[in-house]
Amino acid sequence: MTRQHWVRFAIGDSTGFGTLEGGSRIRVCRGDLFDGAEPTDEVLGLADVTLLMPMQPGKVIALWNNFHALGAKLNLPVPAEPLYLLKTPNSYLAPGGTIRQPRSDGKVVFEGELAIVIGKTCSGVAERDALSHVFGYACANDVTVADILNRDASFAQWTRAKGFDTFCPIGPSIATGLDPATLRVQTLLNGELRQDYPISDMRFPVARLVSLISQDLTLAPGDAILCGTSIGVGSMKPGSTVEVRIEGIGTLSNRYEPRHSGSG
């Protein structure tokens, strides 16, 4: 697949999608992002639009314990199959959007991750065919209220801890034509590098991950799989800026702010 960067955008009362050109322009496309998109003659300045999440996922699947380095640090057993949860649609957030502090108390942490974006309906596919169902890759931040997870000893609260409003930024673009095994994820908090790890350290590489998850769930165009995170996860305080940077894809930047006083 050709190396391109696909974005969705809003301008005025309209939305659209296209490809980045020269880092400052968008070549507007028509049709379906995942099925025969065609370029038009219209070009917009990147500074003149508001970027949206680069796709509209029906579901976002997030992995746990998928990196050797973090698993070894936490002394976690090696999983026999992918361990995953679902991020809820209310958590989806555009690049540049504001992550809001939850009403509940707790330590909020960033988790910089690679997102796999599905481009073709995928159900029970073999590993050898899995990459043909992948459209491309994006940056993601799997934000979590860490101390909610095991607050109740009888029930691990993964969905609640990771499902708060604005807790799933993805973007800024979907990059195609990349070899994911060559990528590195870097996460910066207020400009300070906190995470820097290779995707090649994944327990379940991309093709195997897509194949195994597709045995359980039908994956649809626009769905995303967050590949899990590695060493360096940390807490962030309101007023912070967190950036997830993957060379070849771009930088996903979001502010973490307190919920507005008086909000419902």
Q: Which residues of the chain register pLDDT less than 50?
A: 261-264
Cβ pair 119, 134 in contact under 8 A: yes
Domain covering 1-52, topology:
SH3 type barrels. (2.30.30)
d(CA 97, CA 91): 11
Domain covering 53-257, topology:
Fumarylacetoacetate hydrolase; domain 2 (3.90.850)
Cβ pair 180, 199 in contact under 8 A: yes
In this prediction, residue 262 carries a pLDDT of: 43
Cβ pair 214, 126 in contact under 8 A: no
* Ranges of each domain in the chain: 1-52, 53-257
In this prediction, residue 23 carries a pLDDT of: 85
Please give the model's pTM, rounded to 2 decimal places. 0.96
Cβ pair 134, 210 in contact under 8 A: yes
In this prediction, residue 259 carries a pLDDT of: 83
Q: Is the sign of the CA dihedral 243, 165, 92, 258 positive or negative?
A: negative
Environment class of 161 (CB within 10 Å of its CB; exposed 0-12, middle 13-18, buried 19+)? buried
